[in-house]
């Protein structure tokens, strides 16, 4: 079986739920406390990804970083070598959606070949799906040529699908 190893960066404003999404995907756990990430944390999860020529064993190296001033200092070293990114916004804070363009720009500047991104609009457990205005998310996703998922790290809704979709993109 072919094995691949890919670096994936979690990107998004502070408290949108980056750490929680990784925690849900890797450990299937959730914590209500806000554990501000100190420095960089790398978690890994290996998934079997189907490809035309067989199943690929993909190890996703998930890089997670605090969304504070530290970010500016380590930005390029954090992003270097990334094959892709999960851009995370918080559905209860529309301003976190616009930030995603900035993160995507940084990623493609440091890493012109890492154009594979996917959007996770997190905390869908806190919003009324009927009342939700998806237009801003759809616009950003279209501009970045990316898919988006409405997810909840808290309930686990669509979290697996988000990460696995990125996994499929990274092996093709
Ligand atoms: P980060 O700064 O982007 O890593 O954000 P965290 O993962 O630390 O989450 C910030 C806060 O939002 C924490 O209090 C989490 O418990 C909470 N949180 C994260 N994801 C969700 C979610 O899907 N639903 C709800 N209700 N709260 C969430
Ligand atoms: Mg964090």
**Full DSSP string of 8-35:** EEEE-STTSSHHHHHHHHHH----SS--
- What is the Å distance from ligand 1's center to 166 Cα? 21
What's the pTM value of the predicted model, to 2 decimals? 0.94
Confirm or reject: Cβ of 154 under 6 Å from ligand 1. Answer: yes
Over the stretch 147-162, which tens digit does the pLDDT of each residue have? 999 999 999 999 999 9
Give phi and psi for 41, each to the nearest 5.
-120, 130
- Ligand 1 atom nearest to CA at 122: 23
Decide: helix, strand or coil at residue 154.
coil
Tally of domains within the chain: 1
Confirm or reject: Cβ of 49 under 6 Å from ligand 1. Answer: no
Model pLDDT, residue 71: 55
Residue in 12, 14, 20, 88 to alter for ligand 1 test, most ligand atoms within 8 A of Cβ: 20
Over the stretch 6-42, which tens digit does the pLDDT of each residue have? 999 999 998 999 999 999 999 999 987 766 666 788 9
Task: Name the band, by pLDDT with cuts 50, 70 and 90, for residue 69.
Answer: very low
- What is the Å distance from ligand 1's center to 15 Cα? 6
Q: What percent of the chain has pLDDT over 90?
A: 75
- What is the Å distance from ligand 1's center to 56 Cα? 31
- Ligand 1 atom nearest to CA at 88: 3
Give phi and psi for 29, each to the nearest 5.
-130, 160
Domain that holds residue 50: 2-171
User: What residues contact residue 27 under an 8 Å CB cut-off, 6+ apart?
Assistant: none
Contacts 24+ apart (CB under 8 A), 91-95: 91/121, 91/122, 91/123, 91/124, 91/126, 91/127, 91/132, 91/150, 92/123, 92/126, 92/127, 93/13, 93/16, 94/136, 95/13
3-7, 43-47, 70-74: least confident range: 70-74
CATH number, position 77: 3.40.50.300
């Amino acid at each position: 079986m072919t094995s691949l190893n890919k670096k994936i960066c979690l990107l998004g404003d502070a408290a949108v739920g980056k750490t929680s999404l990784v925690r849900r995907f890797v450990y299937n756990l959730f914590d209500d406390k806000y554990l501000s990430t100190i420095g960089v944390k790398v978690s890994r999860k290996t998934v079997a990804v189907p490809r035309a020529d067989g199943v690929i064993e993909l190890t996703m190296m998930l890089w997670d970083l605090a969304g504070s001033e530290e970010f500016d200092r380590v930005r390029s070293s954090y992003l270097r070598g990334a094959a892709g990114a999960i851009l995370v916004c918080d559905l209860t804070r529309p301003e976190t959606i616009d930030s995603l363009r900035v993160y995507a720009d940084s990623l493609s500047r440091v890493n012109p070949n890492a154009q594979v991104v996917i959007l996770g609009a997190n905390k869908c457990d806190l919003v009324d799906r009927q009342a939700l205005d998806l237009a801003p998310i759809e616009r950003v996703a279209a501009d970045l040529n990316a898919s988006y998922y409405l997810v909840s790290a808290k309930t686990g809704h669509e979290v697996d699908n988000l990460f696995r979709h990125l996994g499929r993109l990274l092996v093709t």
